[in-house]
Amino acid sequence: PADAPWWTRAVVYQIYPRSFADGDGDGFGDLTGIASRLDHLADLGVDVIWLSPIYPSPQHDNGYDIADYQGIDPRFGTLEQFDQLLAAVHERGMKLIMDLVVNHTSDEHAWFRESRSARTAAKRDWYIWRDPRPGCTGGSPGAEPTNWRSFFSGPAWQWDEATGQYYLRLFASQQPDLNWDHPDVRRAVYAMMRWWLDRGVDGFRMDVINLISKGAFVDVEPVASPMPLGAEQYANGPRVHEYLREMHREVFAGRDAELMTVGETPGTPLEQAQLYTDPTRGEVDMIFQFEHVGLDHGKGGKWDPATLNLRHLKANLARWQDGLAGRGWNSLYLNNHDQPRLVSRFGDDGQALEERGDVEHGNRVRYASATAWAAVLHLQCGTPFIYQGEEFGMTNVPFSGIEDFHDVEAINHYTEAVTARGADPRDVLAALRLMTRDNARTPVQWDASVHGGFSAGSERPDVTPWMPVNPNYATINAAADRASDRSIFRFYQRLIELRHTDDVVAFGRFHLLEPDHEQLFAYTRTLGERTLLLTANLSGGPCVLPPSCRPADATPVLANLAEPAAEPAADPAVLQPWEARVVEVR
């Protein structure tokens, strides 16, 4: 522990800038808005801020389509404002990491404009161009070079009439994939990364970094997989580890002690994670795994939502805890800008109770379930990530018709399912409401004022946020939560503080208890002589603690509901709905 890297005790907070805070009052979040809310984050106690993309972008995928890696989109501000923000973050003792989106660029990036200008263009091979399938007319259905599918519905190939070839785009049609096999592409990316580090940023979150090395461009057989058809050819592809080690040598070597890197890696098994995060290999510090956030997907994938089986989740998280112990490092997350809201998805957001007029009860279960899940996540070994609004229990959104959705993924899916496959729009919308990424993307609800206090221009009637604020902002907002005697924010503060101050939380060995229990998530963390025990009832009914979870001698460390001692009537062997307790075993 003494010589462990700083990020092994750190907690990261993700900001989705367009929805965090609007400083200039145009309805769109920006850098001055972020700067105005830094004290909220410093109070929370987080160590690192991860900024989702703020670079110039046509915003087809909310900035994950980058047109210029070395600038700031004017909607967000200027480079000068960025430098000021970075300084303000550092002044408060926090660090700032950037989103690095280099599997693809925007189709408006100068590199791609040149690449698509002619087959003979100097940068033609910076992207992945292929002829139509032999004997087929380019642009006609089925003429794509392979049968690979996009993450955002439809084929992964985009026809370019002007030069008579297809380009690969695993995401939106405006997100052409870079050709990482070209050494000049890699050199350009590394130079850009050094430029940001020289400016003072503290590392990167690397978007779909495990997809950069494409294998063979061949048709594949349909397989049951959460990944799109074709993914086995490029997910954790043939040269990805070589490229990450090269990146490490070219960009991070000599200064990596101060930095942190996290790779976003959909479709990555534990065995690959062991390679990515093994510190002796010099690739990345940690990755985001996806298995656990796919456990409530049905046979038809994400748009076929199913109920989470708690036993499966426990088994999965325990496997990752064990599998990386002593040889790599875990990231810990249940929320980000691509996932529905935790408290609505796995907890009880209280909205049904509130609709029936029972606001108080609704708030109570929302508090309890949000904090129980937070405890389950934050007391594991790894680096926890908090997504904006999670720290005071923001919920999913009551979307109605398709016109309420903004995300390219949601809209493409709806179009394909309803128009091309003739699915019933009501079914498609029901699944979208539960699973859409838009749930996470409404403006942060700061207080009970107009538009939740998101925008500096809130009092002006002509200013509307780019996406409407969740209508529950008057009851669910940061100010109300922090003023409440049941504050989710305060519970997160204590979890973060525990990680900072207790080596058992940071480094203790994880051991899952009661793997088959349907309501209870229980585990111990042990370091040397000391053991912490977490018991969390992840259900809306009472839960009798099994003997393995009732040590004879234990001191309370943290609890989300009142301590049993404070309520003499309560039976200490029973966890109330959504109750979580942490004790030190004597």
- Rg over CA atoms, the chain: 24
Q: Which position among 30, 348, 349, 409 is part of the footprint of ligand TEU (CB under 6 A)?
A: 409
Of residues 48, 32, 36, the one with CA closest to residue 202: 48
CB of 166 to ligand TEU, least distance (A): 19
Q: Which of residues 146-175 bind ligand TEU (CB under 6 A)?
A: 151, 171
Tokens of 285: 């510090």
CA distance 390 to 374: 9
> E strands along 348-496, which residues?
383-387
Nearer to ligand TEU, 405 or 473 (CB): 405
Q: Which position among 64, 196, 466, 491 is part of the footprint of ligand TEU (CB under 6 A)?
A: 64
Binding mask 6-45 for ligand TEU (x = CB under 6 A): ----------------------------------------
Q: Which of residues 241-280 bind ligand TEU (CB under 6 A)?
A: 264, 266
Q: Which position among 30, 47, 61, 291 is part of the footprint of ligand TEU (CB under 6 A)?
A: 61
Asked if 403 is an active-site residue, the reply is: no
- The single residue of 107, 207, 296, 481 carrying the catalytic annotation is 207
Asked if 207 is an active-site residue, the reply is: yes
CB of 15 to ligand TEU, least distance (A): 13
- State CA 29 to chain mean position distance: 19
CB of 437 to ligand TEU, least distance (A): 7
- State CA 400 to chain mean position distance: 25
How many other C-beta atoms are found inside a 10 Å radius of the C-beta of residue 570? Answer: 16
Pairing of strands 580-585, 203-206: unpaired
Nearer to ligand TEU, 36 or 412 (CB): 412
Write the CA distances from 192 to 8, 120, 136, 198, integer angstroms. 27, 26, 40, 10
Q: In which residue are the tokens 């699915």 written?
A: 423
Work out whether 237 is an interface residue with ligand TEU (CB under 6 A). no
CA distance 496 to 421: 47
Q: Which of residues 325-364 bind ligand TEU (CB under 6 A)?
A: 337-338
CB of 301 to ligand TEU, least distance (A): 8
Q: In which residue are the tokens 């979870």 written?
A: 549
Strand partners for 205: 99, 262
Instruction: Give me the count of residues in the chain.
Output: 586
Region of 11 (left: φ > 0; alpha: ψ -120 to 50; beta: rest) is: beta
Nearer to ligand TEU, 153 or 321 (CB): 153
Nearer to ligand TEU, 263 or 362 (CB): 263
* Size of the residue set binding ligand TEU (CB under 6 A): 13
Nearer to ligand TEU, 159 or 290 (CB): 290
Of residues 34, 28, 33, the one with CA closest to residue 75: 28
- The single residue of 30, 264, 481, 514 carrying the catalytic annotation is 264
CB of 243 to ligand TEU, least distance (A): 18
Strand partners for 511: 524
Nearer to ligand TEU, 107 or 207 (CB): 207
CA distance 291 to 269: 8
Binding mask 273-312 for ligand TEU (x = CB under 6 A): -----------------------------x----------
Binding mask 184-223 for ligand TEU (x = CB under 6 A): -----------------------xx---------------
Q: Which of residues 525-584 bind ligand TEU (CB under 6 A)?
A: none
Do 63 and 52 contact (CB within 8 A), yes or no? yes
CB of 561 to ligand TEU, least distance (A): 34
Instruction: Tell me which DSSP letter residue 27 carries.
Output: S
Q: What's the CA angle centered on 75, arms 74 and 81, to 5 degrees?
A: 60
State the residue number with the nearest CB to ligand TEU: 64
Q: Which position among 12, 67, 89, 101 is part of the footprint of ligand TEU (CB under 6 A)?
A: 101
Q: What's the CA angle centered on 219, arms 216 and 224, to 5 degrees?
A: 105
Catalytic residues: 207, 264
> Site residues (CB under 6 A) for ligand TEU?
61, 64, 101, 151, 171, 207-208, 264, 266, 302, 337-338, 409
